[in-house]
Chain A
Amino acid sequence: MKNLYLWSAMIMMILAAVAGDVLQAHAMKVIGDVGALRRSHGTLHVVRRVLTSGPFILGLFFMALAFFSLLFALSWGDVSFIGPASASLTLIANTFAARIFLKEDVNRRRWIAAILIAVGVVLLNH
């Protein structure tokens, strides 16, 4: 039963983390290169553009949800399992989500990188 709770919290955390990342990546893509924007309109304009972006704020909400799900997961399991497992699963899920929702061109190179790092993260915590 505890395992069911643990996995529900972890799945919740991964989904929320991916939703947060995708929304923020989308928000920043719409806003465009902040370096160029800062040079032409000033820092204050950039900060206002970011903080008034709907997807960005929604992304923050999902990041907070991911954080609280992580806290719940940690109360049901070990950090040495939850940390690497959620980090590498989030990485793989992010790659799928970026391809589907952000229409990113995920070539073979990026897939290999994502998988190598996901396996590396698990080994790192051994």
Chain B
Amino acid sequence: MRLARFVGSILSFKRYLVLLAVAVFSAVGDCLLSRGMKEVGSISLSNWPQVFHAIVNPWIASGIVMLLAFFASYITSLSWADLTYVVPASGLGYILIALLAKYFLHEQVSIARWIGIGLIVLGVGFVAADPKVSTTERASELSEAQPAETRV
């Protein structure tokens, strides 16, 4: 019984890491793309082959890798959590983008932005404190016998 609870808590810790990965990969990916596109410049329909030029830009290439990692962790989280849990929880990514924009892209963060960050932190906290991750949780719990899962 104790072993089952121990295994269960490791699994739920892993799930928190996956949710964190959703937020981190999307924020870092967006920032890398933004930085890369500033280097490449705008692409119009008339010079579309420049898209290939953009893809080999190291910032954009690493941004695409990050967004692929985001997508993998996103669909992984959807396999055990509700959409209405994953989407607000990944709102943490918006805060990371604001912080990365301030320290990595050297953009100004206004008071309105800080209030926005505060509201998002509150919103993420609201959903993260929800003990129920999935509407169908009870069924998956029985099949996997992880008592600590209810505490995710």
Contacts and interface: CB of A to CB of B under 8 A. Distances in A.
Interface of A: 21-22, 24-25, 28-29, 31-37, 50, 56, 91, 94-95, 98-99, 102-107, 109-110, 112-117, 119-126
B64 interface: no
Given A33-B144, A50-B75, A123-B119, 16 more contacts: A25-B83, A32-B79, A95-B84, A110-B88, A110-B127, A110-B130, A114-B84, A117-B88, A117-B94, A117-B119, A120-B120, A120-B122, A122-B116, A123-B113, A124-B98, A124-B113
Interface of B: 11, 14, 75-76, 78-80, 82-88, 91, 94, 98, 110, 112-113, 115-120, 122-124, 126-127, 129-130, 132, 135-136, 140, 144
B112 A104 contact: no
A24 B83 CA distance: 9
Contacts of B91: 113, 117, 120-121
Contacts of A109: 126-127, 129-130
